[in-house]
């Protein structure tokens, strides 16, 4: 794989996939009775994925 394919995957394909899976997860939790108790774990997963992406891209905290 060339570096262009890796950058294309990380910059375009991966965020679309993460958004699509997160939206499906959010829609399934909305149909449940006590869906608001499931939002904090979903936010933790989204924030941890964001931190991993930032660290892989070279961001320094």
Taking a C-beta distance cutoff of 8 angstroms, is the pair 42, 22 a contact?
A: yes
What is the model's pLDDT at position 61?
Answer: 65
Task: Give dist(CA 18, CA 21) in Å, integer.
Answer: 5
pLDDT in 10s for each residue of the chain, 61 residues: 577 777 777 777 777 887 888 788 777 777 767 766 667 777 888 888 888 888 888 877 6
pTM strictly above 0.85: no
Domain ranges of the chain: 3-56
**pLDDT of res. 1:** 57
- Main-chain phi, psi angles of 58, to 5 degrees: 100, 15
How confident is the model at residue 5, as a pLDDT?
A: 75
To 10 degrees, the CA torsion angle through 12, 8, 11, 30? 30
């Amino acid at each position: 794989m060339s570096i262009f394919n890796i950058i294309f995957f990380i910059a375009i394909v991966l965020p679309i996939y993460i958004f699509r899976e997160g939206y499906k997860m959010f829609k399934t939790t909305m149909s449940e009775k006590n869906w608001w108790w499931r939002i904090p774990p979903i936010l933790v997963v989204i924030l941890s994925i964001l931190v991993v992406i930032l660290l892989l891209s070279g961001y320094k905290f």
